[in-house]
Amino acid sequence: MLEFIQLLKQRYQSVLATLDSKNPLYFDYQQRVEQLLYGEAFIRKGQLIESLPQFPLQIAVIGPTQAGKSSVVNQLLNTDQAGVSPLAGYTVHPHGFCHGLTPNDCNGLQQYFGRFQCLPEAALNRNRYDCYSLNTTSIRSNLLPDCVIWDTPDFDSIDAADYREGVIRTIALADIIVLVVSKEKYADQSVWEVMQTIAPFKQPTLICLNKLSPDSEALLVQSLQQKWQQHRHDALPPIVPLAFQRQSAAPIWPTNANQALIKLVKQVDPKKQPQNQQQLLKHYWPLWLEPVFAEHHAEQVWQTMVDQCLKQAVKQYQRDYLDHPHHYETFQNALLNLLKLLEIPGFANLISKTRRVMTWPVRKLVALGKDKYQINQSQELTVLFQIGEHLLIQLADQLLEKAETEAVPASWWKETAINLRTKKPLLLQNYQQAVASYHDHFQQDVDAAAHRLYYKLQQQPATLNSLRATRVTTDLAAMLLAIQTGGIGVHDLVLTPMMLTITSLLAESAMGSYMQRVEAELKQHQLNTVKASLFEIYLRDRLYQLPQQSQAPQRFNISQQQCQTAEHQLKEKKHGLRLL
């Protein structure tokens, strides 16, 4: 699951980089990238708990800029280790402080933070954000249990986008959240967007309302409660009011709140992490995968378009070739092969030699002119070539129409149209080669049909002898005509009358119904072969794959299989999520 969330986040970031900031999707995709960062970090937290069940308690102090987060950390630690500055955005790295612990107790942190590097505080660079520090404190505070307490950067300043991932990772790591807001910042939308986003984490929370004046506390607490109820469905957490001290500029922790954090420890239950993790992913899953599902839908529409065009292609092939009274020639070729089988041994050799001599002038003319035009090209090849070209043109037109009319995902249709236009010459060339290959191989089936007829004739000697006599008579007549005309009207050029004679004899004999059945079966087999080998195995499969071959950065390109695998893991356990 972690790998899938990371893949989805990378796709969003890639698409986001291509969008103009004025695009309506820009802000939405930015939010989803942030949500995915939270999801990724929360899954990492689950892995950390699974590998180290006794991992120390983590408390994250979070809040907007200049809310006084570092001051609150110092107050809780009873030290001044957390750097404090009146400048906005002073803290840009997560700073962890071990209270009652040593860094050795936190060996799993690097596993959790991944590419973020743990550096000494003095080595942190304000221009490098993929790092954090882990410090120790020797002073015990009665406000804290044994834990690592984190001082975090703000999440609302202009520069916050640069170091926001460190904030997100620290928030997801936390077992307890301490939200620090001031009277100037408590109502900011950025605060409640974060609190709403992390609601599925189910982290016990403490709110510190900082920089209060004595007369504003009651009003601000009431207003804060309303804000919480607007954005969260769980109960309002404890609120600790912190009065503003002009002299020290540091908050004073009220005595009645000394046990506030220690009490929250009892609500921490690491065993609920898998369940919370599953609920988080289920909550965001439809939103995160919305553009991915839109691409899947577009691909299904595309496949339907291809299927419809191929269905029309099959009908066109039947109309313009198989059922055409003048174009269908396959069964005639079978009868031609039958004529060769009807030749009388011995006599056939003499006729064949004479035929080759008589047809030499015509064959020579054909050889000389073959570069200028094609002689006697199969009508089937012509029809199939035209169908393939027409089909690609038709699909290209439909893609352009979709690109103009579909709002989401319009770029998907544009890119597919470009991809088809780019690959069309090669697709057409390979298709024509496939057609020629099919045509050559199908001659075996044509020859098999001729042999079926011949074997049937052998069972009827009278009909067979009659056809052989007709075959000899036609050959002799063709030779006589060739001699009289100087070799121009040779046997190969006057074949049609003989074919009509042979066909008539077969139809009128007891072979008539059998011949019709052989012709019908050959035609049906030919239709099935063309449909399967050319329209389905070749054209359909390649056209189906066309959208997947686009590597445009605007594409998410996450397959249905990848989504189904992730969803299966999401649903695999009712009370938790099995991690990859």
Segments making up each domain of the chain, as ranges? 58-267
pLDDT at residue 386 is higher than 90: yes
Q: Is the pLDDT of residue 575 over 50?
A: no
Per-residue pLDDT reduced to its tens digit, 314-335: 999 999 988 888 888 887 787 7
Long-range contacts made by residues 406-412, C-beta under 8 angstroms, separation at least 24? 406/298, 408/291, 408/294, 409/291, 409/294, 409/295, 409/298, 411/552, 411/554, 411/555, 412/294, 412/295, 412/298, 412/547, 412/554, 412/555
Note the pLDDT of residue 509.
Answer: 61
- How does residue 375 score in pLDDT terms, banded at 50, 70 and 90? very low
Q: Is the pLDDT score of 467 beyond 70?
A: no
pLDDT at residue number 485: 46
Q: DSSP character for 532?
A: I
Contact assessment for residue 69 and residue 61, using Cβ atoms and an 8 Å cutoff = yes
* pLDDT tens digits, 176-206: 999 998 888 777 888 888 999 888 899 999 9
% pLDDT > 90, the chain: 20
Under 8 Å between Cβ of 163 and 198? no
Residue with tokens 């965001």: 284
CA dihedral in degrees (50, 51, 54, 59; nearest 10)? -70
CB atoms within 10 A of CB 223: 14
Cβ neighbours for 168, distance < 8 A, ≥ 6 positions apart: 34, 37, 38, 41
Residue 83 has pLDDT above 60, yes or no: no
Split at pLDDT 50, 70, 90, the class of 345 is low
Q: How confident is the model at residue 391 (pLDDT cuts 50, 70, 90)?
A: very high
Per-residue confidence (pLDDT) for residue 245, from 0 to 100: 67
For tokens 């921490």, name the residue. Answer: 268
Residues 115-147 pLDDT 10s: 888 898 888 888 888 899 998 888 888 899 999
- Per-residue pLDDT at 64 exceeds 50: yes
pLDDT the model gives residue 82: 59
Confidence of residue 468 (pLDDT cuts 50, 70, 90): low
DSSP 456-525: HHHT-HHHHHHHHHHHHHHHHHHHHHHHHTTSSS-GGGSHHHHHHHHHHHHHHSTTHHHHHHHHHHHHHH
Q: What pLDDT was estimated at residue 576?
A: 43
pLDDT digits (tens, 9 = 90+) for 347-371: 445 444 544 444 444 445 445 544 4
pLDDT value of residue 84: 52
277-281, 423-427, 564-568, 574-578 — most confident range: 423-427
Q: Which residue has the higher pLDDT, 340 or 55?
A: 55
Mean pLDDT of the chain: 80
Half-sphere exposure of 372 (CA within 13 A, CB side): 5
Whether 87 has a pLDDT exceeding 60, the answer reads: no
Q: Which of 354, 350, 391 is nearest to 536 (CA)?
A: 391
Q: By percentage, how much of the chain surpasses pLDDT 70?
A: 81
For the cut 60, the answer to whether the pLDDT of residue 482 exceeds it is no
3-state secondary structure of 182: strand
pLDDT band of residue 494 (cuts 50, 70, 90) is: very low
Output 42 or 509, whichever has higher pLDDT: 42
Q: CA nearest 82: which of 73, 58, 252?
A: 73
pLDDT band at 502 (very low <50, low <70, confident <90, very high): low
Give residue 354's pLDDT.
46
218 vs 490, residue with greater confidence: 218
Helical ranges in 318-378 per DSSP H: 330-342, 347-358, 360-369
* CATH tag for 58-267 (out of 3.30.43.10, 3.40.50.300, 1.10.10.10, 3.50.50.60): 3.40.50.300
106: DSSP letter: G
